[in-house]
Amino acid sequence: MSAHLNGSTKVSLDLLAKSLSETALLDLLVENLDDYFVLLILKYEAQVQDDAKRMGLSYDDVQEIKQITFSNAYFALKHYSEETIHPIRSSLQALLREITKNAALNLLNQKKRNVSLEQASEVYSQDDDMLDGAVSAEYFGYIDLLPEKYRVLLKVLVVYDVSYAELAQISGLKVSVVKARISQARKLLRQIMREKQIKQEGE
């Protein structure tokens, strides 16, 4: 889509890209997409990267999302006619944000996979002897005793091999909130299981 740029050329184009309004940039893209697409990349690369980071993605995933976003944007713009492109003149930034979001969600969905009960136990707690190997119908019965805001998140974490960032994306909560709720859910679950154990030992 663009040739390799040397340092001075990139600096000059970077300054030009940042000085262009969305309308002016879109006019150039309509005039010659192949020649001017590099300006779109230079103008919005940081935004796309920041948006992808906010989705909780790793460095490598962010780089992949950047490539996907600009590739999809290129082919989308290539298939716009001059008439149909007018409605997005004032929302080029929004278009890229939408592409970035969809690309990130697709990547997160691809990462989801079912895990065995043994794997789920390890994901849940690798250092708690009380929970080791405890993933069973009875174990999930204990989880069902938790308040809903803890129960739902913990079940997703136990059943799917997801990170806190992915769990935040799935639930629509902030990562910090997810971490806090999972921590509290674990404390409550340990308490329930200890009480059950004490009760059984007293019988």
pTM of the model: 0.50
Q: Please report where in the chains the tokens 């300006």 appear, as a residue.
A: 39
Length of the chain: 203
Q: Please report where in the chains the tokens 């600009």 appear, as a residue.
A: 70
Q: Which range (60-64, 134-138, 140-144, 154-158) has the least confidence?
A: 134-138
Question: CA-to-CA distance for 49 and 180, rounded, in angstroms?
Answer: 27
Q: What is the domain partition of the chain in residue ranges?
A: 7-111, 117-202
- Does residue 158 have a pLDDT over 60? yes
Contact 89, 20 (CB under 8 A): no
Residue 61 neighbours by CB under 8 Å, 6+ apart: 52, 104, 107
pLDDT of residue 111: 61
Domain made up of 7-111: CATH architecture: Orthogonal Bundle (1.10)
Q: Is 124 left (phi over 0), alpha (psi -120 to 50) or beta?
A: alpha
Ordered alpha helix ranges (H), the chain: 7-19, 22-31, 33-54, 59-78, 92-111, 117-124, 137-143, 148-159, 164-171, 175-202
The alpha carbon torsion through 50, 56, 59, 64 (nearest 10 deg) reads: -80
Confidence category of residue 168, pLDDT binned at 50, 70, 90: confident
Question: CA-to-CA distance for 8 and 156, rounded, in angstroms?
Answer: 50
Question: CA-to-CA distance for 32 and 6, rounded, in angstroms?
Answer: 21
Average pLDDT, the chain: 75
Give 121: exposed, middle or buried? Use CB within 10 Å, 0-12, 13-18, 19+: buried
> What six digits make up the tokens of 90?
């004032």
Q: Look at the domain 117-202 and name its fold.
A: Arc Repressor Mutant, subunit A (1.10.10)
Q: Please report where in the chains the tokens 């913990």 appear, as a residue.
A: 154
